[in-house]
Structure 1
Amino acid sequence: MFGKLKVGVIVVVLLVGTLGGAVALGAVGTPSVSGVENRFGGVNETSTVIESDLHVSNPNPLGVALGGLSADYAVSMNGVEMAHGVKSGVDIDRGNSTLPFSTTMDNERIPAWWVSHIRNGESTTLTVDASVHSSLLDYSFGAPKVERTVETDLISAFNSTETRPVNADAPVVSDPVLYVNETSAQWGEVNESVTPIDMDFTMYNPKAFPVPVSEIGYTITMNDVTVGNGTSAQGYVIPAGGQRTVETRTLVENERLDEWWVTHLERNQRTDLEIDFYAKVRVTGETIRIPLDEMTYTETIETDMFGTKVEATGQTNVTSESNESASTPEPTVTTTSTDGGSDSTTPTATPTDTASATPTPESGETTTEDDGLLALGR
């Protein structure tokens, strides 16, 4: 009995050694991963499921299944590992096979990615690495690396030279109380906790008396999730018949971004971004809180992170199958921006204008198709 067992072990060892040697010599076809397809699965307040299909080709002429396989998969964004998983006990038959598996991303990784994204000039390199290892052949074969560029442009549309009125709608003063002749925004220095946006408002006072602005307040929402709110740190006085630049800093609270991420996926990768402002001004001895409706900044963002998003019609927008000789199709991203401004023909209110002669612009909406927020490219 012992002799038969010993002979059996020797046969298995010789078989494995022969297969491994055959692979090394090219006598047995080498398995390979021809492509990988990724998509988002379920999402909840703590985690996001990433579902993947590895397309594997096994040209083994022996007509036997390769067992004892393990698949390893990782997704990173700007070097920040978002998800990593291993699936063991995988079998593939001769020919082409698809290996489905899933990994779980911790949503708490979203703020760390966001910080890297802003620091990198609103650009992210999304990388997907996948490989399969055969314990039988003692051989690993990997999928061609998937690498996509994620670029955003969140605040440039706030830069405007369009004149907009500030109306108090209060009996103590006639409207408009002020005009905003120009707005601009740029990123401050982001850290792990907050993302600052430095915003400037050039305000013109058409009145014959100075108008103090005690504060500018703001609220930032993404899909109705409040990701930042606050007020300016100092007050300003807009001189009679003159203008002055009011500086304010808005802060995105990074810890709230994982909550936004859930809504983005729940809405099929769609986000409605909105920044609302108000001002407190003092006229005729009374402080008035004025909503700055004409300066409300909104933007609608739609993304297709892996290029496999299914639209409402049930059709897949783009198919992403990675290989080194084929290019990744560009997804279609539509961005709608509204900053409450008017068209480009509106004249600017200046200190030389009188209150009665200062034009009142009409607000408009501009729709553009461009790289947009989180648009993907090669």
Structure 2
Amino acid sequence: MDLPDPVRSVLAALPSLRTAVVGIVVTLGVVALLATALVATGVIAQPTVESIDNEWGEATNETTQIETQARVDNPNPIGIPGLLSVEYTASLNDVVLVEGKESGVGLSPGENTIAFTTAMDNDRIADWWVTHVNGDERSTLTIEPSVSGPGVSKSLPEQTSTVETDLLSSFENGTEETVSVDGEPLLTIGDRDAAWGEATAETTPLTLTAELSNDHDRPVSFSGVEYVVTMNNVTLGAGQTSDGIDLSSGESGTLTVDAALETAAFADWWPTHVRNDETSRMRVELYGLVDRGGTQTRVPIQLYQQRLQFQTDLLGDDGTSVESLSSTRDSVAVPTIGEIDRDWGTVTDETTEVHADTTVDNPNTDPAVNDLVRLTTTAETSINDVFVGSGSRETTLESGTNELRLTSQLDNTKVPTWWARHLNRGETSAVSTVTTTTADVGFTTIEVPTDDVNSTTETNLLADLNTDSQQSIGGDGQTYFVAESTAAEWGDATPQVAPLDAQSTLRNEQPVPITIQEIQYTVSIGGVTLADGSQLDGTTIGSGERGTVDLRIDLDNSRMDEWWLTHVRNGEQSTLAVDVTATIAAGGQARTIPLSMFSTNETVETDLLG
């Protein structure tokens, strides 16, 4: 073979070198000089980089290893010593992910595979994410390889591929979903959509919209929205907005939420994505906010939620995929109200307390739910359709069984009115307590079934004054009359007056006529005097004859509120005392005798609370 002069000179020098060194040792400089000369003269053909394949290696919180395999073809029949360097730059949308280099590469004849590892700073992913979002979730992966060495310096054709994702496609959903509380539909979520804003190194805006319809029979209102966006349980964004909505019953509207993701957080998410074979689960949740005492409080029910799984192959050719995932929505259970027991509380001159004790079963175990839900119970009490008072209580509940006492204040001034109706209704009173309980779940209220309490109480104040039994009427050892029958009834009572009409048939037992000149009476109940007066009569009954005596007493019904105090304090027991006397004239003499047929002293009991 006819060698060029420079090569012949180098070969001529080899025997002397061989003599100077024990064995066959060739210095790196000489080999390099030889390789350079051989390549420069075209004796040795230039090697070529056929391909560079990358895959992710170990991922830490700070860096991710890129494992590279470069296929280099050596077309020469002889090997090339370790004098070459293989370099490449991998970029996504001009964001350099990594610059790799392997030096001292030796090549065997034919195809050679060179493997080496380079560390990528995870912050580069956050930089790339900005360009990816702003480019409609489309990126170009560019790998620029080169090979260099003695006599070799060549940039090889770059390798490019397209990376596309469509994370927001699954947010475009027209399927209706229902937000319920304890099985009661409240809201229907209709068309949903999502869009990226202009991303920066600090923030990636995400706007979410949803059509809402109020299916509830009460208003639904949110003062704002709290959002949480995670990927592989790494929080990318969380915050509160003033994007609220108010919907009357049956009304529809659009909820728009402007969320902000933290761009730097994508560097924290990235290692989880790599460790999971470039698979991630994204979760977006919106919670309504309500004002609680000037503080924005989160309603513990997802107003909106979206779960999806996506896969990427940023360094390969397998493309990407996005899949919507099913999810369950948190719920709030409505407490249940047990039976109500009532008793009297403190009695003052103005009011009478009624205690209503009940048990409330709260099935919610989440403290956030129990802190939010307010149970409001209102009781309105009427006696004989006369509203006498009410009470209301708002409370939070612990999980499980709660003992609840509601105290109502009854207006004592209403006693004369309902007592008049008591008399007019045959001494019967109907007591009705209508109890309303609502659960305030923040954005609306829900009625909680609560039993009303009804009771009936009866009296028979005139029982002793209605009789056919004969009674002797007399005094000082003499019988003047025999009361053959006595009857009494109430007239038409008002809050001021309760008329008592009584009559008795008397038979004169004396041998002379008897004139009933005047009748005196006192009536008290529970120590409260309702009547103290007299009426002129003038009825004369001959000896052995019969006559009728009529008695009309107008009771001061306006004083029944005073009676009420003593009656309740005494366990709903009172003494009714009616004392009636008559001034009679018989045989020229006048005297006063008791009319026992009109008198009574009896215990009056009621049970107004049942």
- Determine if the TM-score, normalized by the shorter chain, exceeds 0.5: yes
Partner of residue 241, structure 2: 232
CA-CA distance at 1:13 after TM superposition: 9.2
CA-CA distance at 1:290 after TM superposition: 4.3
Q: 2:147 aligns with which of 106, 129, 132?
A: 132
Cα deviation code 1:68-117 (max 9, x no counterpart): 21121211000000101222222112222111112111101111100000
Provide the rounded CA distance (Å) in 1 between the counterparts of 2:256 and 2:187.
16
Q: Is the 8 A contact 1:211 1:282 kept in 2?
A: no
Q: Is the 8 A contact 2:170 2:323 kept in 1?
A: no
CA separation of 1:31/1:292 partners in 2, compared to 1, >3 Å: closer, same or farther? same
Q: 1:121 aligns with which of 130, 136, 140?
A: 136
Provide the rounded CA distance (Å) in 2 between the counterparts of 1:279 and 1:44.
36
CA-CA distance at 1:158 after TM superposition: 1.1
Cα deviation code 1:274-319 (max 9, x no counterpart): 1122223589xxx8814127x3211111223333xxxxxxxxxxxx
CA separation of 1:122/1:335 partners in 2, compared to 1, >3 Å: closer, same or farther? closer
Provide the rounded CA distance (Å) in 1 between the counterparts of 2:257 and 2:281.
23
CA separation of 1:127/1:33 partners in 2, compared to 1, >3 Å: closer, same or farther? same
Q: Number of aligned pairs?
A: 301
Partner of residue 150, structure 1: 163
CA separation of 1:15/1:278 partners in 2, compared to 1, >3 Å: closer, same or farther? closer
Q: 1:78 aligns with which of 76, 93, 113?
A: 93
Partner of residue 325, structure 2: 338
Q: Is the 8 A contact 1:39 1:52 kept in 2?
A: yes
Partner of residue 369, structure 1: none
* TM score, norm. by length of structure 1: 0.72
Partner of residue 256, structure 1: 265
Q: 2:177 aligns with which of 158, 164, 175?
A: 164
Provide the rounded CA distance (Å) in 1 between the counterparts of 2:96 and 2:319.
26
Does 1 or 2 have the higher relative contact order (CA < 8 Å, sep 6+)?
1
Range 74-83 or range 144-153, more displaced:
144-153
* TM score, norm. by length of structure 2: 0.46
The answer as to 2:213 corresponding to 1:213 is no
Partner of residue 204, structure 1: 213
Provide the rounded CA distance (Å) in 1 between the counterparts of 2:58 and 2:86.
21
Q: Larger strand proportion, structure 1 or 2?
A: 2
Q: Is the 8 A contact 2:93 2:128 kept in 1?
A: yes
CA separation of 1:124/1:334 partners in 2, compared to 1, >3 Å: closer, same or farther? closer
The answer as to 2:34 corresponding to 1:21 is no
> Unaligned 5+ residue runs, structure 1?
308-329, 342-378
CA separation of 1:47/1:88 partners in 2, compared to 1, >3 Å: closer, same or farther? same
Range 331-340 or range 265-274, more displaced:
331-340
CA separation of 1:216/1:91 partners in 2, compared to 1, >3 Å: closer, same or farther? same
Q: 2:253 aligns with which of 244, 248, 256?
A: 244
Q: 1:304 aligns with which of 313, 316, 319?
A: 313
Q: How does 1:280-291 map to 2 (within 5 A)?
A: 280=289, 289-291=299-301
* Secondary structure of the structure 2 residue equivalent to 1:296: strand
Q: 1:276 aligns with which of 260, 285, 303?
A: 285
> Unaligned 5+ residue runs, structure 2?
1-12, 18-26, 329-610
Cα deviation code 1:236-260 (max 9, x no counterpart): 2112321111211122111111111
Cα deviation code 1:184-215 (max 9, x no counterpart): 21112211111111111221123344322112
Provide the rounded CA distance (Å) in 2 between the counterparts of 1:68 and 1:332.
37
Letter in 1 for 2:85: S
Q: Is the 8 A contact 2:170 2:308 kept in 1?
A: no
Q: Is the 8 A contact 1:206 1:240 kept in 2?
A: yes
Q: Is the 8 A contact 1:181 1:202 kept in 2?
A: yes
Partner of residue 187, structure 2: 178
Provide the rounded CA distance (Å) in 1 between the counterparts of 2:284 and 2:179.
17
Provide the rounded CA distance (Å) in 1 between the counterparts of 2:86 and 2:34.
23
CA separation of 1:92/1:242 partners in 2, compared to 1, >3 Å: closer, same or farther? same
Provide the rounded CA distance (Å) in 1 between the counterparts of 2:246 and 2:311.
41
CA separation of 1:168/1:217 partners in 2, compared to 1, >3 Å: closer, same or farther? farther
Q: Identity percentage over the alignment?
A: 32
CA separation of 1:29/1:184 partners in 2, compared to 1, >3 Å: closer, same or farther? same
Q: How does 1:37-116 map to 2 (within 5 A)?
A: 37-61=53-77, 63-116=78-131
CA separation of 1:12/1:152 partners in 2, compared to 1, >3 Å: closer, same or farther? closer
The answer as to 2:304 corresponding to 1:267 is no
After superposition, the CA RMSD in angstroms is 2.9
CA separation of 1:231/1:59 partners in 2, compared to 1, >3 Å: closer, same or farther? same
Q: Is the 8 A contact 2:165 2:320 kept in 1?
A: no
Q: Is the 8 A contact 1:214 1:235 kept in 2?
A: yes
